Amino acid sequence: SILPWRNPLVGLKNTTSDNSNTHLKMVGLNKALSFLLCANLALESAAFAPSTTNKQSHVLKAAADDQVVDEATRNARIMAPISSIMAAVSPSLGLVSPANAAPSASAFEANMRKNFPGALTNSAISLRVAAALRDRGYTPANTLFGSSLCSDEINDTAESLVGDFQNKLGTDGVFNLGGLGGLPFVGISGMGAFIHHVPKNGKIFIVFGPHVGISDKGVVGQIERVGQESISTSCGAGIGAYKAIMGKKGESEAETYLGTKDFQEEYIIAKLSDRLDPLKGQEQSNESITFLTNKMYDLVWEMMRSEINAYTTKDDFWKEVTEVTLLGGIVVNRGHGAGVPGGEDFYQPLMLKSLTKDGESDLYGEVFGDFPALAAPHRAAKYV
């Protein structure tokens, strides 16, 4: 635990001149800063400790309480208050002037940090993960890349997560597994077709998850789109299901979601219905759409796990494939319309696992352990 902060200047007696007193103050502050720097560096070193490999069955299991925060990440949380103290004393030492301090976060960033802690830019995510994959032997020649993200066009731009991964991994193409909401609606047949495209003795990498927009004003579930004057929803499929479940659609409109004409949305409504019970009777808010988005992640992961297990449990699967790596999380889109700053989207990583014939390895701590991701306690979600 961290000891309460004590001002090193308290108790100093003014027995010398003003210059001497100033010197004592600087000595005390320098000692305090040295202590904090040492503690900071020690924790950062621990944060980069390699992850452990658990020899388990290669069947992807549902986590009992979605534990994605490891020891390294907990250490990173300890580092946060220390960093805050260092930031507070630095101006006194002349290291940082108020004029050079970082500007306050935008409404978009403030609400993203609040509702999706641990989210990083697409480029930062792809850089970290691609480096880890290269260390594990992933190359352009032996890697089959698949994505299960929502089919919304804002997830398929030059700066999208998938595009970033293609550039950093050097893969020529991507197999699109995802439909509405990011669920892998290609099913068992589509997953089979994807797997049969893997190079001989090759490796598979899949990134998956739902998405949610945050407007320039910080509203979760809304986004500015290019060429449109009015605000738009994101994810439309998730929020559409939320409104249907909350009873905000008329009966005739709700009927259009039934049957084969809209089976993907119908599936989402059916699977979300009971999971959104805590939101019934509440007004739509940033918190409610965040809750919805996390439940959408559960739907995507459950379907993905089922489809992957259908093949990895077969004896002949590992004769052609040497490794499968899965990156799961939530895409956070930002607006790109007129008058909006734009910029990269973000991704909140919630899971990073590797499967081989020998079992399952958790790579989350190795790749994201230095970042104070609060995903597990924030989501409080359980797989069923």
What is residue 355's three-state secondary structure? strand
First to last CA, the chain: 35
Q: Extract the residue ranges of the chain whose pLDDT is less than 50.
A: 1-17, 20, 22-27, 29, 32-56, 63-104, 250-255, 257, 374-384
Q: Please tell me the predicted confidence (pLDDT) of residue 248.
A: 58
What is residue 300's three-state secondary structure? helix
Q: CA 298, CA 317: separation in Å to the nearest integer?
A: 26
150 and 181 Cβ atoms separated by less than 8 Å? yes
Taking CA atoms, 172 is separated from 145, 208, 228, 268, 340, in Å, by 9, 19, 32, 32, 32
Q: Please tell me the predicted confidence (pLDDT) of residue 336.
A: 81
Mean pLDDT (the chain, rounded): 75
Q: Please tell me the predicted confidence (pLDDT) of residue 339.
A: 75
Q: Before 235, cis peptide (omega within 30)?
A: yes
Q: CA 142, CA 237: separation in Å to the nearest integer?
A: 35
Verdict on whether the full-model pTM lies above 0.85: no
Q: CA 42, CA 152: separation in Å to the nearest integer?
A: 43
What is residue 120's three-state secondary structure? strand
Angle at 68 between CA 116 and CA 211, to 5 degrees: 35
Predicted confidence (pLDDT) per residue in 329-343, tens digit: 999 998 887 777 778
**DSSP symbol at 264:** H
373 and 113 Cβ atoms separated by less than 8 Å? no
Predicted confidence (pLDDT) per residue in 313-363, tens digit: 988 999 999 999 999 999 999 888 777 777 889 999 999 999 999 999 999
**Both tokens assigned to 117:** 């802690």
**Both tokens assigned to 269:** 């409504």
